[in-house]
């Protein structure tokens, strides 16, 4: 452990798997208190042996993120004041990506919509640029996790 | 998933490891929302390996 300490992770898993895992920990260590230690070991070996493969949607989001970042950088260079605000941009992304799209074809349509959104940002009329935290995480929407799960 | 539903698990992890794992998920899936799904898959694979004594 580093000096940075520990971080708490909360997640939900299928109750049968949870019970099985709990039983495994108790059998192995005689107590459930070893849960976090065992998890750390599992995650360590997972990260060690991971292969970098991206889902198409993640690739697309990363690409859009890069593009947005470069736009904001350019606007800042041109003297725009940085402000953290809920922008029209975020609202548009939420509205567009929040549309219920389930089929493969529609998922492609969603990506195309997102491209259109980046086009709207570039357009000079009525443009409002803020110092957005353009992490792909912040482009989350209610429907996005479902779409990602379908990809897995 | 069975009809028994989901169970919430809380774990404490070394901050550096947690950051690396979080980054891995965001890089791969574009969102942190896949966390539970990835965790579930990792645990299932681990339990399968333990049960079948699979040497990685």
Question: DSSP code of B34?
Answer: G
Q: Inter-chain contact B31–A145, Cβ cutoff 8 Å?
A: yes
Residue span of the structural domain in which B43 resides: 15-51
pLDDT at A84: 32
pLDDT bucket at B9, cuts 50 / 70 / 90? confident
B11: distance to nearest CA of chain A, Å?
Answer: 5
B8 in a structural domain: no
Helix H, strand E, coil C: the string for chain A is CCCCCEEEEEEEEEHHHHHHHHHHHHHHHCCHHHHHHHHHHHHHHHHHCCCCCCCHHHHHHHHHHHHHHHHHHHHHHCCCCCCCCCCHHHHHHHHHHCCCCCCHHHHHHHHHHHHHHHHHHHCCCCCCCCCCCCCHHHHCCCCHHHHHHHHC
Q: Testing the interface with A: which of B10, B31, B45 to mutate, by most A Cβ within 10 A?
A: B31
Q: Inter-chain contact B6–A13, Cβ cutoff 8 Å?
A: yes
Which of B27, B37, B42 is opposite residue A149, by nearest beta carbon? B37
Average confidence (pLDDT) over B3-18: 84
B42 in a structural domain: yes
Report the distance separating Cα A96 and Cα A94, nearest Å: 6
B6 in a structural domain: no
By CB atoms closer than 10 A (0-12, 13-18, 19+), residue A97 is buried
pLDDT digits (tens, 9 = 90+) for B16-55: 888 888 888 887 787 788 888 888 888 888 887 777 665 4
B1 in a structural domain: no
Report the distance separating Cα A121 and Cα A85, nearest Å: 15
Query: Residues of B near A (CB-CB distance < 8 A)?
Result: 1-2, 4-21, 24, 26-37, 39-40, 42-44, 46-47, 50, 56
Number of domains into which chain B is organized: 1
Q: Inter-chain contact B50–A24, Cβ cutoff 8 Å?
A: yes
> Does pTM surpass 0.80?
no
How many C-beta neighbours within 10 Å does residue A11 have? 17
B3 in a structural domain: no
Decide the pairing of beta strands B6-14 and A6-14: antiparallel
Which chain B residue's Cα is nearest to A34?
B11
Report the distance separating Cα A72 and Cα A82, nearest Å: 9
B34: distance to nearest CA of chain A, Å?
Answer: 7
pLDDT at A86: 35
Instruction: Please list the pLDDT of chain A residue by residue as tens digits (152 residues).
Output: 556 788 888 888 888 888 888 888 888 888 888 888 888 888 888 887 766 566 666 666 666 556 555 655 555 555 443 333 334 444 444 454 443 334 334 444 444 444 434 333 333 334 433 333 334 444 433 333 333 333 32
B37 in a structural domain: yes
Report the distance separating Cα A58 and Cα A99, nearest Å: 18
B7 in a structural domain: no
B31 in a structural domain: yes
Q: Inter-chain contact A54–B27, Cβ cutoff 8 Å?
A: yes
Structure tokens at A29: 């260590």
């Amino acid at each position: 452990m580093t000096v940075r300490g520990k971080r708490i992770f909360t997640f939900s898993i299928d109750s049968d798997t949870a019970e099985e895992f709990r039983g495994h920990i108790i059998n192995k260590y005689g107590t459930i208190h070893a849960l976090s230690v065992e998890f750390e070991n599992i995650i360590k070996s997972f990260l060690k042996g991971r292969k970098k493969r991206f889902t198409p949607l993640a690739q697309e989001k990363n690409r859009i993120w890069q593009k947005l970042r470069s736009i904001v950088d350019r606007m800042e260079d041109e003297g725009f004041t940085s402000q953290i605000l809920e922008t029209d941009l975020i609202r548009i992304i939420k509205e567009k990506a929040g549309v219920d799209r389930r089929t493969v074809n529609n998922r492609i349509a969603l990506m195309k919509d997102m491209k259109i959104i980046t086009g709207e940002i570039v357009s000079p009329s009525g443009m409002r640029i803020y110092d957005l935290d353009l992490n792909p995480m912040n482009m989350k929407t209610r429907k996005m996790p479902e779409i990602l799960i379908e990809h897995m | 998933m069975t009809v028994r539903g989901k169970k919430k698990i809380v774990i404490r992890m070394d901050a550096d490891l947690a950051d690396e794992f979080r980054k891995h998920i965001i890089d791969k899936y574009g969102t942190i929302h896949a966390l539970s799904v990835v965790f579930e898959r990792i645990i299932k694979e681990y339990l399968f390996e333990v049960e079948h004594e699979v040497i990685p």
